[in-house]
Amino acid sequence: MRSPDELDSVQWDALDHAYGSAEDVPELIRALYGDDEEAASEAVHELFGSIHHQGTVYEASGPAVPFLAHAVRHAPSHRTDLLMLLAVMADHDPSAAGSPPRLGADVAAVCTELCRVLPDLLPCLGDAEPSVRRAALRVVGAVADLLPAGSAAPTLVEGLYAADPVPAVRADAATVLALLGRETGALDHPLREVRLAVAVLEAERSGPPYRAELVAVVAADGAEPDPREDDLPWADGTVRGDRLAALLVRDADAALAVAARWIAAGDLGSCGSWLARDVAEAWRDREPEVVDLLIAALPHQPDPQTRSARLHVLADWIRHLPEPGAELRDTLHRYAAADDPSAEAALLALVHARDPRALDLLLDEASDRAPDHGPDRATDPAPGHPGSTLLSAAARSFPDAADRLVPAIRRALAAGADGNAAIALVGALERFGPAARQARPELTDCLRTGRAAIVAARLLGLLGERTEEITGLLQEAALSTDSALSGAAVAAHHRLTGEAGPALRTFERLLSGGGQTSWYLAHLQSLGAAAAPLLPVVERLLDGGDWTRLAAAEAHHRITGSPDRAVPVLAGLVGPSPVGLAALRALAAIGRAPEELRPALRGLAFSPLRLLSDSGLSATGHPDEELRALARTLLAAGFATEPAVTR
């Protein structure tokens, strides 16, 4: 250890941390010893953000270790925090360790210094405060693979495991003993916390599928979070609950069995319902079981906010059920019809369940609340209009209900919806095809006022209704300094008038100016063969970044009518990523794929695991579902015989 008197012997200004020069480190460490508790707390916070920042250590981190160790022993008001700082700074992959020189230089320096001062920190394992003992165990665990022979740490940890009065400390000691290569107790240990810790260790060692005995222990002992102890993270930032959930999700059958047991026990801390959700996010085709569990968890959620969160999760997964059952829909209807803050989330779930009663709740009650200003109430503001999320979902679930939904969407737009809400509402209108022409006044107003102007311009072009007002607004929007709006407007203007000249001039300018090239190419596609004069520009962009290549390939196919150049480019982008999904979508629209893509398509089509996560931004459902469906479509459509050579 090194005392604050030695701080000036280190040339801190020659070392760096997350924010540049480490010249402020001495001042922060000295603040730990002062009488100003607020300054000391702030110093701890600053050290967590500078010499250790989001999992990264720096040149100044290793030299700071002996000073932090001294502060743990001699400035004890922040012992737990400082021990945790030492532990997380030393986090490393033991398989890359062997000896510190095999680690990254900065991590190696931290580990070397921590091993050197560890004997001075071992008394913390006997501290009167349980949180200090637990933090000290994490320090030992962080360098367990690097400790020299003869270290006193293993013996002290064994003593905690055998006799500490706090179950959580004994459970932590079991984990550290495993890191030290020592055997711990069996799954029949008398303490629940220890049994659970041992179960986690055995699961980590064995991997899935987990033994029935192990799953039974987790199901019985993991349902109740320990209310007496705040869980401390380990050196890698994980806490017990996160580690356990991550392990369980690797075995879907085990996870669902455990989630069912936890939910039946009251779903304390929502552990069971969150575990069920995690299974649905990780595995394909488990939605029916997950939905059943989430429904079963609802009565255990008396708090409306928590219940609303569960209902939102239900809404996400119900739309993947081929035919939601009557009992499920009746349950959702009861929640949606209740006078309760969670009713809106329940209504969203009912909409996704495609239950016709959802339309009655969504629209009739809103109409009852809306003031009547005359015979044509559709264009009048209505403070009770449904939200954009509900209306967008209803447009997906009830595409044949244009007669009821289009007027509701018009009211919402007329009432002043803007931003993402207006974008969602215009997108919902597009689902109704020609019936959306009823909303021409609202769409032109969006274009005029700049609310969702890009999507409004596009939809006006798709609807094909040419008026002087619309073409004039599109011409005006084409001159906008917003390049995305300009491109959307000229493309829509071309759709309505057939005049290619203005569009060609605008796109030539946009494509030569950089910026959001993929956006401009996406709008250019609607010109089809009329964009042939821009083909040389499009061909150059086939060598751009991923999204640019994608859009250029699609545009090339639309302009030429030939897939020869587009298919190889698109095939090279296919994979479990957003751009890979878009490439699959484009190949499916063309209707062909190169033969060498077959193995990749089979992997995308038949993986039991989800390969794409849900960003929450998709308007069509979970992106992994679309990924699988498109891959299967292409497998069924046939393959090109020519090899795909990406240019």
372 CB contacts (<8 Å, ≥6 apart)?
none
In the block, tokens 């222990």 appear at: 217
52 beta partners: 57
- Tell me whether residue 565 is exposed, middle or buried, using C-beta atoms within 10 angstroms of its C-beta: 0 to 12, 13 to 18, 19 or more: middle
Rg (CA), the chain: 31
Q: What is the pTM of this model?
A: 0.84
What proportion of the chain, given as a percentage, has pLDDT over 90?
82
Distance between CA atoms of 556 and 544, rounded to whole angstroms? 14
If one counts every other C-beta atom within 10 angstroms of the C-beta of residue 364, the result is: 11
Angle formed at CA 295 by CA 294 and CA 301, multiple of 5 degrees? 80
Q: Is the pLDDT of residue 165 over 50?
A: yes
| pLDDT band, very low/low/confident/very high, at 232 (cuts 50, 70, 90) | confident
Question: 20 — phi, psi (to 5°)?
Answer: 110, -135
Q: Which residue has the higher pLDDT, 224 or 115?
A: 115
CA 377, 382, 388, 389 torsion: positive or negative? Answer: negative
pLDDT (tens digit, 9 = 90+) per residue, 127-164?
Answer: 999 999 999 999 999 999 999 999 999 999 999 999 99
Say if CB 28 and CB 46 are below 8 A apart.
Answer: yes
Q: What is the pLDDT of residue 409?
A: 96
Distance between CA atoms of 221 and 193, rounded to whole angstroms? 7
In the block, tokens 């209504």 appear at: 347
- HSE value, Cβ hemisphere, 13 Å, CA-based, for 477: 33
Q: Report the CATH number of the 1-182 domain.
A: 1.25.10.10
Q: Is the pLDDT of residue 4 over 60?
A: yes
As given in the structure block, the two tokens for residue 618 are 């998709």
Name the 3-class secondary structure at 643: coil
As given in the structure block, the two tokens for residue 451 are 């609310």
First to last CA, the chain: 61
Q: Is the pLDDT of residue 6 over 70?
A: yes
Q: Where are the domains of the chain?
A: 1-182, 185-225+239-300, 563-640
Distance between CA atoms of 42 and 626, rounded to whole angstroms? 48
Question: 442 — phi, psi (to 5°)?
Answer: -70, -35
420 CB contacts (<8 Å, ≥6 apart)?
388
In the block, tokens 């021409």 appear at: 440
Mean residue pLDDT of the chain comes to 90
